[in-house]
Structure 1
Amino acid sequence: MAELKETYACVPSTERGRGILISGDPRTDSIAYCNGRAVIIRRLDAPMDVSIYGEHGYPTTVARFSPNGEWVASADVSGTIRIWGRYGDRALRNEFRVLSGRIDDLQWSPDGLRIVASGDGKGKSFVRAFMWDSGSTVGEFDGHSRRVLSCAFKPTRPFRIVTCGEDFLVNFYEGPPFKFKLSQREHSNFVNCVRFSPDGSKFITVSSDKKGIIYDGKTGEKIGELSAEDGHKGSIYAVSWSTDGKQVITVSADKTAKVWEITEDGGGKLARTLINSGSSGGVDDMLVGCLWQNDHIVTVSLGGTLTIFSATDPDKLPVSYSGHMKNISSLACILQSGQKVILSSSYDGNISRWIQGIGYVGKLVRKDTTQIKCFAALDEEIVTSAFDNKVWRVPLNGDQCGDTEPLDVGSQPKGLAVAVKAPELALVSTDSGVVLLQGSKVVSQIKLGYSVTTAAISPDGTEAIVGSEDGKLRIYSIKGDTLSEEAVLEKHRGTITAICYSPDASMFCSGDSNREAVVWDRLSREVKLNNMLYHTARINCLAWSPDSHLIATGSLDTCVIIYELGKPASSRITIKGAHQGGVYGIAFIDENSLASAGEDACVRVWTLTPQ
């Protein structure tokens, strides 16, 4: 059987020029954010304690805990809100189509009976409030002419709702049922976020005009501003109140987070600027989201990094967590400084490092920042390719990648394989053939006369296996710069999608688009394990255990299947729903631990026990 040991979560999805609105549950110190079609819940004091909800049919945008912490309301770009149980099987309680376009923000009423949502829509339908159990509308929200980016529910009676958006307006509604009361136009650019103080006496708005304005919570009248003298130098994307309502945190495109004291007259003076010493000063360090929860101040950068500061101890060093924002395309396990390190790569050029029991330990710093199409890793070197026909062979030194020049292989690489016992040799597969690399040189470019889909090179570099669209496996011997065809294997009934030699080089495994995997004996070229037909979609990746006793397959069907040599394929271990959207990377950490990754941008570690 396989037991989920750890989940290394993806980071929040971000968009340049837009803020993101994360939420928290103060009772459990949990936060919720969105990535792809999933909602991720993780604890600030235990970041590997991760829960993922993936039942939305469209990319999610925002999620909020109910006041009692038992329910979560999450929204997506289609205008749909799903209300589901936070614990247990996360049963769906209700689903409503609230707006005709993307929902940007939602809030629960303090009594947990109503929800207000804002975003994009047709005509003037940018805001809607409804009963969460029946979906019945509780008011009319006139007054906006463009997308409404944020909304807030007054946390005390009498209830009020405030909205703000791209028409530069801040609108105030009384109810329920809610009706328009007044409109404020104090801002001169998009109003990105509005939040009530915990006692409901005030609310604050922040804008791309670099201003923060404070209003009376009962009347909606302006009472003050954040000091312009110490203010942000770029758009302010988000704001959050302290638990006692005496301070707020703001984050900006100027890459700073500022804590403000709210004065008795309703103004705001700068208390301190939060500094993250790990920031590089690049565009990805723009801050787009924030949350003040108990003693934690959380900021989110454009690159998705979550940084957690102590609210009561300014001298305490912040803790940062990062990871992937886009789907992970490959996975490898290497040995660095005596530790087994998991490397995961995503097509946006991010290569992250993970250690079992610790989680995220940093990103590889690369000179080449292009997208990654193919990826292979050894203990002291990585090999990558992008969409520009170039292959990079880069030495590793901790989290630093060496400075090398790329190799032009003439056409776009479709796959990479390195001879692990002769690491100077690498095989690159292209549409029409293969390219043999030796160190930093192209040894030969060989046209094969058929459509190549993937290829593998034996650990000692003396043999190559090339897979093709016609489902055939062609075995070549490698001598110097030439490939000589030795055999053609015909068992697959679909395009070959993955090939992998066993660590002891006595076997190899192949997988195809028709969901079948086959284990072959290398010497006799006979089938060693067949009937591996338990996936329901294309096989994307393969991995062998270090002792060559187990073979794992990852598929588009979201599952990982582990087969044991010497036992029939029917005695397999199946991990259902390992990764939403499909599994694209698997790697054994040791004989009893397997790492997997996929379209959900998460890495998971599984403990295997014999059946």
Structure 2
Amino acid sequence: MATPELSETYACMPSTERGRGILISGHPKTNSVLYTNGRSVMMLNLDNPLEVSVYAEHGYPATVARYSPNGEWIASADVSGVMRLWGTHSGFVLKNEYKVLSGRIDDLQWSPDGMRIVACGEGKGKSFVRAFMWDSGSNVGEFDGHSRRVLSCAFKPTRPFRIATCGEDFLVNFYEGPPFRFKQSLRDHSNFVNCIRFSPDGSKFISVSSDKKGIIYDAKTADKIGELSSDDGHKGSIYAVSWSPDGKQVLTVSADKTAKIWGISDEGNGTLEKTLTSHCSGGVDDMLVGCLWQNQHLVTVSLGGTISLFSASDLDKSPVILFGHMKNVTSLVVLKSDPKVILSTSYDGRIIKWIQGIGYSGKLQRKENSQIKCLAALEDELVTSGFDNKVWRVSIKDGQCGEAEAIDVGSQPKDLTLAAVSPELALVSIDTGVVLLRGSNIVSTINLGFTVTASVLAPDGSEVIVGGQDGKLHIYSVADDSLTEEATIEKHRGAISVIRYSPDLTMFASGDLNREAIVWDRATREVKLKNMLFHTARINCLDWSPDNTKVATGSLDTCVIIYDVDKPASSRLTVKGAHLGGVYGLAFTDDYSVVSSGEDACVRVWKLAPQ
């Protein structure tokens, strides 16, 4: 079998933090943008959001990434103070890695000739800012003048070069060079100064602050020349600012949940031209924390990770909304009635609907926003369980969550399955045994006498297979809401992590924490495919192809492996590095498409070549 090809990526959203701006930066020539989530640097094409590349080589959570002026290189930095310089051609090529600061790097900027980089953030003593040669890492100046964390830095895009910085000490500092030397401190703000940016022609720069002000300075002298009008100004902290390509306007975003476009006169005064609002629920998650004016796209990012794309040429047009997960995507289901529809849930309680070929298609908003570990779904109902003792049954009408009922099963659910033929019947496994539910009623709680780690219920509700900490599979028949043990089968050498029936119910497959998967014949209970021992860490998830010929497994080792049931396990297909941090969800949408999800908060579709 040929190696599976990545056909679509449903990107994670930027990591955000309350009370802080975030950075999203653009390519100098295209509509590609960069942002960070966890240890990943995401490259997203605004013209086609399914076109995504991910750089995952940072050892710590990444904070900022920027393209070089010619677009050939990317500088990305992380919370440990390390910056990596890498190329984007034919895979990722690391050019250099530098330890720049002793703490988190919050911002970085290239000089217009691409020869120097300035970075700022947290440091020890007074070293909050550093500028250096991009190819050697040697310093090109001294940056005194700040006493606290420096949140933003900017490089004047024309000669003579200047650097401006701002931070938590309420200061805007100005440096001349190279080599750069402190010139002066500007004390016009009365709160954190969150972002500073030079205009594209290098004539002005602007700083925005949590004091709700935006102040404009002359880029040569650092004299204050104007500010954003306060008459219709922001009512909350301003977290980010971005210039239009022609330098005549700026875009600002604020905790007041609005984005504003300001006209900037030659003298340096800012008058409000337009307030942009996206459809929002009005909660804290709608505070805006990042923005970018990228050619014809005006990009805003909310605290909840929603990216809104406004059109610069038609500001009254509704924005295109991009949304996704921000945390580990723990489970995936494909709707049986329409396998192109994928539902994914993340650790933080989000449920997102994707359509293969289109991408983001909406979020299912539940009234209770509890964490989710397991998900089962039918056309008109979701059943979820999290890290409390509850199972939720949520009705779905017109693609929205309706009434929800919580069932307390008395212990943390480990696994849950619905009987597809009679969906009011559900099986929930807990440490000590299993709980059978009919609708929202517990019909029996059965102590099985061993530690349960996984379970599955046959679609017609007639059989249950339970996996234990001891690696054994226990098969029970179900009658009158009670279980009768029919057989115990042993082959696994580790605790069972997942069990799934084949679609035609003639087989089932199981995976364990000792990295092995096994396919069983259901009638004889004999091993049908063995030696599936190619992962290097525990198996988290598995699924069957609709035609019953293939089993896919996903593991903590970041790989997805696809086996053909009728061929030896050695003729497998492997997707290496499918998800940074591990694969946690897997589902076939058809015989030749597998969807995976993982720790990196992304969802991906892989295409297998027909044999």
Mark yes or no: TM-score above 0.5. Answer: yes
Please state if 1:35 is matched with 2:37.
yes
Give the secondary-structure state (helix, strand or coil) at the position aligned to 2:461: coil
1:393 aligns with 393
1:433-460 deviation line (CA, Å, top 9, x unaligned):
1111111111111112211111111111
Contact 1:247 1:262 in 2 (8 A): yes
Matches within 5 A, 1:264-343: 264-276=266-278, 278-335=279-336, 340-343=340-343
> What is the CA distance between 1:45 and its match in structure 2?
0.7
Contact 2:28 2:70 in 1 (8 A): no
Matches within 5 A, 1:211-610: 211-276=213-278, 278-335=279-336, 340-610=340-610
TM-score (norm 1): 0.98
1:205-259 deviation line (CA, Å, top 9, x unaligned):
0001111001110111111110111110000000000011010000000000000
Q: 1:128 aligns with which of 130, 137, 147?
A: 130
Contact 1:462 1:478 in 2 (8 A): yes
Contact 1:26 1:294 in 2 (8 A): no
> What is the CA distance between 1:420 and its match in structure 2?
1.5
Contact 1:249 1:258 in 2 (8 A): yes
1:114-139 deviation line (CA, Å, top 9, x unaligned):
00000001111100000010000000
Contact 1:459 1:503 in 2 (8 A): no
Give the secondary-structure state (helix, strand or coil) at the position aligned to 1:406: strand
Q: Distance in 2 between matches of 1:387 and 1:50?
A: 32
Residue type of the alignment partner of 1:159: F
Residue type of the alignment partner of 2:458: S
Residue type of the alignment partner of 1:212: G
Q: Distance in 2 between matches of 1:382 and 1:546?
A: 21
Residue type of the alignment partner of 2:69: P
Matches within 5 A, 1:55-94: 55-94=57-96
Residues 24 and 365 from structure 1, CA distance in 2 versus in 1: closer, same or farther, beyond 3 angstroms?
same
Where in structure 1 do 4 or more consecutive aligned residues deviate above 3 Å?
none
> What is the CA distance between 1:275 and its match in structure 2?
2.1
Q: Distance in 2 between matches of 1:65 and 1:26?
A: 7
Q: Distance in 1 between matches of 2:396 and 2:572?
A: 36
Give the secondary-structure state (helix, strand or coil) at the position aligned to 1:403: strand
Residue type of the alignment partner of 1:108: W
1:198 aligns with 200
Give the secondary-structure state (helix, strand or coil) at the position aligned to 2:335: strand
Contact 2:431 2:452 in 1 (8 A): yes
% of aligned pairs identical? 71
Higher mean alpha-carbon deviation, 144-153 vs 378-387, is at: 378-387
Residue type of the alignment partner of 2:201: D
Give the RMSD, CA atoms, in angstroms: 1.0
Q: 1:172 aligns with which of 171, 174, 191?
A: 174
2:47 aligns with 45
Higher mean alpha-carbon deviation, 233-242 vs 495-504, is at: 495-504
Residue type of the alignment partner of 1:489: I
> What is the CA distance between 1:60 and its match in structure 2?
0.2
Residue type of the alignment partner of 1:439: G
Contact 2:257 2:277 in 1 (8 A): no
Residue type of the alignment partner of 1:295: Q
Aligned residues: 609
Residue type of the alignment partner of 1:237: Y
1:143 aligns with 145
Q: Distance in 2 between matches of 1:583 and 1:398?
A: 31
Residue type of the alignment partner of 2:410: G
Contact 1:239 1:290 in 2 (8 A): yes
> What is the CA distance between 1:359 and its match in structure 2?
0.5
Give the secondary-structure state (helix, strand or coil) at the position aligned to 2:404: coil
Structure 2 residue ranges without an equivalent (≥5): none
> What is the CA distance between 1:317 and its match in structure 2?
2.2
Q: Distance in 1 between matches of 2:59 and 2:398?
A: 40
Q: Distance in 2 between matches of 1:560 and 1:397?
A: 34
Q: Distance in 2 between matches of 1:494 and 1:385?
A: 24
> What is the CA distance between 1:339 and its match in structure 2?
6.5
Q: Distance in 1 between matches of 2:281 and 2:249?
A: 28
Q: Distance in 2 between matches of 1:21 and 1:399?
A: 33
